[in-house]
């Protein structure tokens, strides 16, 4: 079994507002302060504005750090819970891209599974073993979004994923369906630090044979599973 140090879960709407909403607000405040500094002629007013600028910047930094710390605490709790529940399973942390979200809905439909509850534009933990390939969100009490039957898993291979101007290495899972194979493109993430980082190409190449070994222990690793 292999696990990443710290899983990342999806931030709540409130947390997203605090994190991303503070940035444009801070930008507007900076522009306003610069304009006021240009208009001010009194030294006391200038000092007051500079002090306010420093205070506002400090508060923004504190709010961001508190938000990220909350994410980390919540994600660590999910990692511990999943490791305890699935001690012999393979765990990998991924980002739920819009394309993966759509792929999951399609896979659930063609494989005759309950509708996927995995949130788009969020982070999730993949838990794989000979019984199923599952995706979990949540924190201290992980929430299963989908469970795909391992006996339908026929392919595990790395491939490129383009995110804007960046090209990342993804882990592709192919599930046998009527008329062909449904492929899920998983983009691994490294949550060992405060900020979420993409996983290097070489590290992804190390992950896919490990997943194959955990999912199909009787078979050797390779690009395709029979």
Report the Cα–Cα distance between both ends of the chain, in Å, rounded.
22
For the beta carbon of residue 221, count every other beta carbon within 10 angstroms: 13
Instruction: Please give the Cα distance from 128 to 147 (Å, whole number).
Output: 9
What residue spans define the domains of the chain? 13-75, 88-215
Q: Tell me the pLDDT tens digit for each residue of 172-214.
A: 999 999 889 999 999 988 766 555 567 777 788 888 778 878 7
Length of the chain: 226
Instruction: Please give the Cα distance from 200 to 222 (Å, whole number).
Output: 20
Q: Tell me the pLDDT tens digit for each residue of 98-131.
A: 999 999 999 999 999 999 999 998 888 899 999 9
Q: What are the start-end ranges of the E strands in 60-165?
A: 90-96, 122-128, 132-137, 143-149, 153-163
The model carries a pTM of 0.70
Q: Which of 146, 10, 166 is nearest to 78 (CA)?
A: 10
Burial 59-85 (b: 16+ CB within 10 A, else e): eeeeebeebbeebbebbbbbbebbbee
Phi and psi at residue 141, to the nearest 5°? -120, 90
For the beta carbon of residue 172, count every other beta carbon within 10 angstroms: 17
Look at the domain 88-215 and name its fold: PH-domain like (2.30.29)
């Amino acid at each position: 079994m292999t696990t990443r140090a710290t899983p990342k879960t999806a931030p709540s709407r409130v947390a997203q507002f605090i994190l991303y909403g503070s940035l444009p607000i801070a930008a507007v405040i900076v522009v306003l302060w610069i304009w006021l500094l240009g208009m001010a002629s009194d030294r006391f007013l200038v000092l007051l504005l500079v002090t306010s600028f420093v205070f506002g910047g400090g508060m923004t930094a504190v709010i961001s750090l508190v938000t990220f710390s909350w994410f980390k605490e919540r994600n660590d709790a999910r990692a511990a819970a999943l490791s305890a529940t699935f001690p012999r399973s393979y765990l990998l942390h991924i980002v739920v891209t819009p394309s993966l979200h759509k792929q999951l809905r399609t896979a659930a439909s063609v494989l005759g599974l309950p509708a996927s509850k995995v949130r788009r534009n969020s982070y999730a933990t993949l838990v794989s073993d000979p019984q199923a390939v599952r995706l979990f969100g949540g924190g201290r009490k992980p929430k299963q979004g989908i469970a795909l039957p391992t006996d339908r898993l026929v392919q595990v291979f790395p491939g490129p994923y383009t995110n804007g101007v960046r090209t990342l290495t993804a882990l592709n899972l192919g599930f046998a369906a009527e008329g062909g194979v449904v492929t899920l493109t998983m983009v691994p993430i490294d949550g060992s630090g405060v900020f979420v980082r993409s996983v290097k190409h070489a590290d992804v190449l190390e992950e896919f044979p490990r997943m194959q070994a955990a999912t199909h222990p009787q078979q050797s690793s390779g690009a395709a599973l029979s």
